Amino acid sequence: MIQFLQQLINGLSIGSVYALMAVGYSLVYSIMSFSNFAHGGVIMLGAYFGFFALTLLKLPFIPAFILACAGTTLLAILVERIAYKPLRERNAPFLYFIISAMGASILLENIVIATIGPTFRTYPPVIPRTPIQLGALAVGRLDLIMFFISAVCLTGLILFIEKTKMGKAIQAAAYNIKACALMGVNTDKIILIVFGLGGFLAGVAGVFFGMKYTVYPQIGNITTKSFIAAVFGGLGSLPGAVLGSVLLGTIETLVAGYLSSQFRDLIAFVILIGVLIFRPSGIMGKTTVDKA
C-alpha cells in the first residue's frame, strides 16, 4: 500500500508536468487545428535556458526560472511568426503547418547540438535531494514543488481563459476563428497570446524536466507523451489535456513500478492506439459533425 501511494505521488508529479506541455499543445490545436510538433523544441530550450541561467549567469533559482520562462515565451512566439504566420496568411492546409512544425523541431534540436553540443548536462542541486517524510511516505521535494507549481500555473491559465475578456476571445476563437475575425476580433493577437502562454508553460516544464532528469538536445521528444496525453484527454480541450496528462503520468509510473520499466514507453502508445480506436475524441472531447 505504501509502495502504491509512493508510485501514485511520483505519477501525479510527472503527470502534472506532462499537463503543462499538453496544455500548450491543446491551446494551439484548439485555435489552429494542427499539432504543433515544434513545442518539444521550445521545452528543450527552456531546460537549457534554465540550466545556463543557473550555471553561467549564476542566478538564484527563482530569477533563473523566470528568465527561462521568458525565453521560451519569446521563442514560441518567434517560431509562430517565422514558421506558421506566412502559412496562415495564405490559408494553407493543415499539413503544411505540420511539416513546417517538423522543420522547426529539427532546426531547434540541431542548433542546440551544433552550438552547445550533444552531451548530457545535470542541473546544479538547487533543490535538496533529501525527501520529506510524511509518516511512512518519503516524498521528493522536487516532486512536491513540481506538482505545486504546475497546479498553480494550470489554475492560473484556466482562470485566465474563463474569467478575462482575452480568455473569452480565445474561447471564441477556438470555437470558430473565422467567425471571430469577421466579428472584428484581432485573431493575430489571439494567436500571439496563445503561443506566448504555451511557450511560458513550456519553459516551466522544461526547467522541471531538466531538474528531474538531465538536459540534452533530444529531451523535447518527451512531448510525444504530452501529445498523447492531449489526445487521451481530448484534443483541443484544456481540462481534458490536464486529466489525460495526470492519468498518463500515473499509469506510466505504475506500469514501470509493477510490471517493467521497459513497458513504460510502450504503454503510452498502447493508450494512444486504444483511444484512437474506441474514442478518438478522447475523454472530454466533443465529437464534431462535418458540414456538407
Partner 1 sequence: MDWFYIQGILMLAGINLIAVLGLSLLTGFTGLFSFGHAGFMAIGAYLGAFMTVSPTTSPAGLGLPFAVGVIAGGAGAGIVSYFIGRITLNLKGDYFCIATLGFGEAIRLILNNVQLFGGSRGWPGVPYKSTLPAIIIVDILAVIFLANLVRSRHGRNMIAVREEELAAQIAGINVFKYKMIALVVSAVYAGVAGVFFGHYMTFIQPKMFSMTKSTELTIIVIFGGLGSISGSVLGALLLTALPEILRAFEIWRLVFYGAAVILIMISRPKGLMGGMELTPAGLRKARNERKARILALKESKNGQNGEAGLG
Where do contacts with partner 1 occur on this chain (CB under 8 A)?
A: 33-35, 82-83, 86-87, 92, 94-96, 98-100, 102-111, 113-114, 224, 227-228, 231, 235, 262-263, 265-266, 269-270, 272-273, 276-277, 280, 290, 292
For residue 10, give the H/E element and its range.
Answer: helix 2-32
Place of cell 489535456: 241
| Smallest gap from residue 35 Cβ to partner 1 (A) | 6
Compare residues 32 and 180 and give the one whose CB is closer to partner 1: 32
Place of cell 518519503: 138
Q: Rounded to whole angstroms, how far apart are CA atoms 277 and 183? A: 38
For residue 196, give the H/E element and its range.
Answer: helix 187-212
| Smallest gap from residue 280 Cβ to partner 1 (A) | 5
Compare residues 78 and 151 and give the one whose CB is closer to partner 1: 78
| Smallest gap from residue 96 Cβ to partner 1 (A) | 5
User: What stretches of 37-186 show up as alpha helix (H) in DSSP?
Assistant: 39-55, 61-79, 85-89, 94-115, 141-163, 165-175, 177-182
Compare residues 38 and 154 and give the one whose CB is closer to partner 1: 38
Compare residues 99 and 192 and give the one whose CB is closer to partner 1: 99
Q: DSSP states of 236-271 as a string?
A: T-HHHHHHHHHHHHHHHHHHHHHT-TTHHHHHHHHH
| Smallest gap from residue 80 Cβ to partner 1 (A) | 12
Compare residues 100 and 150 and give the one whose CB is closer to partner 1: 100
| Smallest gap from residue 159 Cβ to partner 1 (A) | 29
Single-letter code of the amino acid located at 259? L
